[in-house]
Amino acid sequence: MTTLSRRVASLKPSITVALNNRAKALQASGVDVLGFAAGEPDFDTPQPVKQAAIDALLAGQTKYMPTLGDMPTRDAIAKKLTEENHIPGLTGSHIAIGAGGKHVLFTSIHCLFDTTCPGDRQWEMLLPVPAWVSYAPICELAGGKVVEMDTTPDTGFRITPEQLRKAINPNSRVLVLNSPSNPCGTMYTEADLRALAKVVHETRDIAPDLVILTDEIYEKIVYGGVPHFSIGSVPEVAERTLTLNGMSKAYAMTGWRIGYAAMPGDFGKTFINAMGTLQGQMSTNITSFTYAAIREALSNKAVAAEVETMRQAFATRAKLIMGRLAEIPGVTCVEPQGAFYVFPDVSGLFGRTTPKGVKIDSALALSEALLDEAHVAFVPGEDFGGCGKNHIRISFACSEAQINGGMDRFAKFVDSLR
């Protein structure tokens, strides 16, 4: 028997993807599972966006395209980031389009890290945790070392400027920011982000290679009163900030697989071109007839109105699920300000036993028992890092009826614990 590469054999599977697949397989086999694992809107892609892709397909837009996207689409994204996010100095040449935010993240991380570095150095990713489950494995695959920066419910899951200043050292390569965040729904205010940018700027002699990677994929899903702010708009750090975004969440386009990255300045252009070189050896361009759909999504006012309707629905659902969780003893939860997840602390249930006799001693054990005995799929928090091991993630990107149904089951299950 031959073997797998060590890098891939040791790669941690995505728990969010795995649990979602598992819930879907159970549903397909006839089990009445209520799924709260998927980080994807239940809404359909707005009609004009679909129509734009259909029209492009019928018009024969079916061939290879430039690797990072056609210029009209890259220009449209640069315009969006300039006008909405106030990022200075962007042109289409500073934009890379790839097959989803995850793909663009993968490519950009591989353009930053090396498996070996001069002088035996190992580049570090500064990762505020709990964080989305893909940042750390992708960094490690690329040869980087992940340095977790702990946050807690008491600080609203936000790192402080002092914490960042202490963590920065000559090996610091990437600072990951994700506001609104998956899994906590945390948002950093403009003042918070300016303070973090100031630290990065002031420590530029200590960590000259540090790049801020800001994942803003949930920017349109905000409802907690904190407006979204792009750290890439702060002039002192603009040219060392890579802004990552995509169509999946804002436009209910998860299955289309479209993400993009932007970095202004001369180095930005070099960096984006390097992403193109790598992508040119991976996947080449994204599906040719979807570029028209990107332009439509970014420019059509009726689509913007649908995005707003979705945002309002998420706001209502956030309130609903917070109200239902508050009724469950042993469970505490910080109110999300954006995205569509809650991340309750369930450690109050640890030590108890389920009706089938399973001892709940971790978030993983709780999630497994909930799926097995109550047919609800939540994501255990361990793989999100830090204090995540005391939490579970519940995606509320589903109907109010499903939220109520799932919370009924969760409450009944907790009630049945001995």
The Cα diameter of the chain in Å comes to 64
Which of 74, 80, 94, 102 is in the footprint of ligand PMP by CB under 6 A?
Answer: 102
C-alpha distances (whole Å) from 81 to each of 10, 113, 149, 176, 232 are: 37, 26, 28, 19, 10
388 scored as a contact of ligand PMP (CB under 6 A): no
Binding status of residue 16 toward ligand GLU by CB under 6 A: yes
Q: Which does 14 bind (CB under 5 to 8 A by kind): ligand GLU, ligand PMP, none?
A: ligand GLU
Q: Return the closest-CA partner of residue 48 out of 249, 251, 207, 236.
A: 251
Q: How far is the CB of 216 from ligand PMP (least distance, A)?
A: 9
Amino acid at 121: R
The item of ligand PMP, ligand GLU, none sharing an interface with residue 215, based on CB under 5 to 8 Å by kind, is ligand PMP
Q: Are 250 and 45 in contact (CB under 8 A)?
A: no
Crossing angle (nearest 10°) for helices 47-58 and 301-326? 130
Q: Where in 31-50 is the site for ligand GLU (CB under 6 A)?
A: 38-39
Token readout for 116 is 């070996």
| Piece of the chain touching ligand GLU by CB under 6 A; list 14-22, 65-73, 155-163, 223-231 | 14-22
Query: According to CB under 6 A, which one of 19, 33, 35, 39 is a site residue for ligand PMP?
Result: 39
Distance from CA of residue 343 to its chain's centroid? 14
Distance, in Å, from the CA atom of 363 to the CA atom of 344, rounded to the nearest integer, reads: 10
Residue 100 beta carbon to ligand GLU: minimum distance, rounded to whole angstroms: 8
Q: Which is nearer to ligand PMP, 34 or 252 (CB)?
A: 252
Q: In 228-258, which positions are buried (b, 16+ CB within 10 angstroms) versus exposed (e)?
A: bbbbbbbeebbbbbbbbbbbbbbbbbbebbb
User: How far apart (Å, rounded) are the C-alpha atoms in residues 197 and 177?
Assistant: 11
Q: Would you count residue 254 as binding ligand PMP (CB under 6 A)?
A: yes
| Phi, psi angle pair for 395, to nearest 5° | -85, 130
In terms of CB distance, is 53 or 414 closer to ligand PMP? 53
- CB nearer to ligand PMP: give 181 or 347: 181
Q: Contact between 216 and ligand PMP (CB under 6 A)?
A: no
Return the range that interacts with ligand GLU (CB under 6 A); candidates 25-33, 105-113, 126-134, 274-282.
126-134
Q: Where are the alpha helices (DSSP H) in 209-260?
A: 235-238
State in angstroms the smallest separation of the CB of 258 from ligand PMP: 7
Binding of residue 182 to ligand PMP (CB under 6 A)? yes
Q: Does 385 bind ligand PMP (CB under 6 A)?
A: no
Nearest residue relative to ligand GLU (C-beta): 39
Q: Which residues bind ligand PMP (CB under 6 A)?
A: 39, 100-102, 132, 178, 182, 215, 217, 246, 248, 254, 259
